[in-house]
A and B are shown apart, each in its own frame.
Chain A
């Protein structure tokens, strides 16, 4: 039976992050976490393969202490088991460190016939962990996959590139990243939610991965993060009759020289 690993990131929901107008600083004190949106597609694809041909699906995530909150949500979406690496150093991790940590974890828990990632994480959207992971593990990568098949030991994927599609066939294991259109993630059912409570979640300590301090030091460090402040006119036309609002709008646009 094939063994699949799916990688997901537990990210702050950007809808809850506020930008302070005064100094453009970010306030995430009220922000909740979520499974990174595109990773839901990765999870769904793994589960579709599991249902279609009886694969086992492991999931892995690397994050701060908060990742523990994600386990139930993740398991209710179908994977059989989840490995989590909860370490405060994740806050400073870049694609280099993240891919290194996940690769080390996958070596411990694998081998896998297929590793699935999302197109990019919802917070940093680096789109690099999947190809880096492949390189770390010495496997071929297939990025931006819009349809995926496992045929025996072979991975067959259609990639969606800017101006074309192509089919990539890999003999043996591969790492893929999937685009959102590949499937529609399901909403977990009551039984799936209940079943999740009984599935195994195993912590892997970062210290047990055998990584050197250098491998755990980010190549890219964040200097500042500032909210994007949009300075626009914000004029709302609020007459009771829409015809009057439209007249005012068209007059304004004419004045701007755009109609």
Chain B
């Protein structure tokens, strides 16, 4: 093996987790190789998406300001969809913009390409268009990677290869993914002029809106997301593939139906679909994570490690990927000897508050598992609104009685109690 073939670290995958890790390691003078199968970083990636900027600040203060981000999110909107109606909550907080904005909308193709280029500028070697097929193992220790005929060695291999981590499976740290552990996301980027976006979402300048909707997936666990970018909006759904399969609807059909919904259609009217993509999302949070995130010579970061939080109104993954990439980089820098990296990585995950957050949201998945969250309850909210705002000259029913009736129409008290109890326990 020549010196050319040995690195301090090899990172598999140039998503946010890999790029953050490569950036920090290269900046600290480590020799780093990052290998990405896409022709360019980001070319195969799908996300909502929005990026919480705190994660970029942790990597390096001010870094996010150089990034090709879209709009800063000042409007958080939640929608509950009925068949022909919608309840929309619009929370606008204009203070978000003051020092560190909380989140920006983001398009992955330019963002990932930029982040990989930043890592390269710091001295990392970035090889795109290359698929890593195998890990090299010696005496139970991971010592490198194999891509095609080529072998490359490293003290540490970092698996940042995303939700369907082949590498994770090869190491035995992860089992094959099962449908109930992941969600399926499909999304479209629909181009619209900026003035139209601003008018439709009540935005000015570089302000953006993030909207999540429940009730759009016909009772299948999941929800819709809607983000405003520069010159486009991202619209998609994330849902449980197991339940969807039972309902016999194709993914595209569900998205198509959603686009026709009378509360959604006017928002995208006149737009042209520029991109369409489908991808898996780690959905179940803590309980879906592998028991162990490292082996001698290898650590897993980002989606590969199962870092994902979905509260129904917030989808987080990119920020967690970045923080876990940073944690791995810190561990490699601190460690003397490859064997020390894994345990130090786990410590870093605690120190950077990543594991504590995962634990806090551990139970949310159980709430989202309740099918009623996605059909009965949104429908109930819409019926309640209809009752409250109906003036037809007839004597209205008494509020309390009517509400009770509406609730009964959609759920039994037993169900309500059970769901409430489950929700309470989950938190």
Q: Are A190 and B125 in contact (CB under 8 A)?
A: no
Interface of B is mostly: strand
9-residue interface stretch from A148-156, A191-199, A250-258: A191-199
B4 on interface, CB distance cutoff 8 Å:
yes
**What is the CB-to-nearest-CB distance from A71 to chain B, in angstroms, rounded to a whole number?**
13
Q: Are B147 and A189 in contact (CB under 8 A)?
A: yes
A191 to B152, CA, bound (A): 9
A187 on interface, CB distance cutoff 8 Å:
yes
Nearest A-chain residue to B43, judged by Cβ = A32
A64 on interface, CB distance cutoff 8 Å:
no
Q: Are B147 and A194 in contact (CB under 8 A)?
A: no
Q: Are A194 and B148 in contact (CB under 8 A)?
A: no
A-facing residues in B309-354 (Cβ within 8 Å): none
Nearest B-chain residue to A193, judged by Cβ = B127
Q: Are B129 and A187 in contact (CB under 8 A)?
A: yes
* Per-position binary interface string of chain B over residues 143-174, scored 1 when its CB falls under 8 Å from any chain A CB and 0 otherwise: 00001111010000000000000000000000
Q: Are B129 and A194 in contact (CB under 8 A)?
A: no
Nearest B-chain residue to A73, judged by Cβ = B129
Q: Are A189 and B130 in contact (CB under 8 A)?
A: yes
A188 on interface, CB distance cutoff 8 Å:
yes
Interface of A is mostly: loop
A187 to B147, CA, bound (A): 12
A123 to B291, CA, bound (A): 53
B-facing residues in A181-239 (Cβ within 8 Å): 187-191, 193-194, 197
B33 on interface, CB distance cutoff 8 Å:
yes
Interface size class of A (residues with CB under 8 A): 10 to 19
A197 to B129, CA, bound (A): 15
* Per-position binary interface string of chain A over residues 157-180, scored 1 when its CB falls under 8 Å from any chain B CB and 0 otherwise: 000000000000000000000000
Which of B4, B40, B130, B149 is within 8 Å of A193, CB to CB?
A: B130
**What is the CB-to-nearest-CB distance from B413 to chain A, in angstroms, rounded to a whole number?**
41
Which of B40, B148, B274 is within 8 Å of A190, CB to CB?
A: B148
Q: Are B149 and A197 in contact (CB under 8 A)?
A: no
B25 on interface, CB distance cutoff 8 Å:
no
Which of A32, A187, A190 is within 8 Å of B150, CB to CB?
A: A190
Residues of chain B within 8 A (CB-CB) of A189 are 130, 147-150
B289 on interface, CB distance cutoff 8 Å:
no
Residues of chain A within 8 A (CB-CB) of B192 are none
A189 to B127, CA, bound (A): 9
* Per-position binary interface string of chain B over residues 24-35, scored 1 when its CB falls under 8 Å from any chain A CB and 0 otherwise: 000000000101
A191 to B35, CA, bound (A): 11
Residues of chain A within 8 A (CB-CB) of B129 are 187-188, 193
Nearest B-chain residue to A30, judged by Cβ = B274
Which of B33, B40, B274 is within 8 Å of A194, CB to CB?
A: B33
Residues of chain A within 8 A (CB-CB) of B40 are 32
Residues of chain A within 8 A (CB-CB) of B128 are 193
**What is the CB-to-nearest-CB distance from B269 to chain A, in angstroms, rounded to a whole number?**
15
Residues of chain B within 8 A (CB-CB) of A190 are 35, 127, 130, 147-148, 150, 152
Q: Are B125 and A191 in contact (CB under 8 A)?
A: no
A188 to B147, CA, bound (A): 11
A196 to B127, CA, bound (A): 10
Q: Are B4 and A194 in contact (CB under 8 A)?
A: yes
B-facing residues in A17-70 (Cβ within 8 Å): 30, 32
A194 to B33, CA, bound (A): 9
A32 to B33, CA, bound (A): 24
Q: Are A194 and B149 in contact (CB under 8 A)?
A: no
Nearest B-chain residue to A198, judged by Cβ = B4
A193 to B150, CA, bound (A): 11
Which of A32, A187, A188, A194 is within 8 Å of B125, CB to CB?
A: A194
A193 to B125, CA, bound (A): 9
Nearest B-chain residue to A195, judged by Cβ = B4
Residues of chain A within 8 A (CB-CB) of B33 are 194
Residues of chain A within 8 A (CB-CB) of B130 are 188-190, 193
Residues of chain A within 8 A (CB-CB) of B152 are 190, 194
* Per-position binary interface string of chain B over residues 111-132, scored 1 when its CB falls under 8 Å from any chain A CB and 0 otherwise: 0000000000000010111100
**What is the CB-to-nearest-CB distance from B105 to chain A, in angstroms, rounded to a whole number?**
17
Nearest B-chain residue to A192, judged by Cβ = B150
A190 to B149, CA, bound (A): 9
A194 to B7, CA, bound (A): 12
Taking beta carbons and an 8 Å cutoff, which residues of B are in contact with A? 4, 33, 35, 40, 125, 127-130, 147-150, 152, 274
A-B contact pairs, 28 of them (CB 8 A): A30-B274, A32-B40, A187-B129, A188-B129, A188-B130, A189-B130, A189-B147, A189-B148, A189-B149, A189-B150, A190-B35, A190-B127, A190-B130, A190-B147, A190-B148, A190-B150, A190-B152, A191-B150, A193-B127, A193-B128, A193-B129, A193-B130, A194-B4, A194-B33, A194-B125, A194-B127, A194-B152, A197-B125
Taking beta carbons and an 8 Å cutoff, which residues of A are in contact with B? 30, 32, 187-191, 193-194, 197
List 5 A-B pairs, minimum CB-CB distance, nearest first: A193-B127, A190-B150, A190-B147, A191-B150, A190-B130
Further contacts, 9 of them, CB under 8 A, given A190-B35, A191-B150, A193-B128: A30-B274, A188-B129, A189-B130, A189-B149, A190-B130, A190-B152, A193-B129, A194-B33, A194-B125
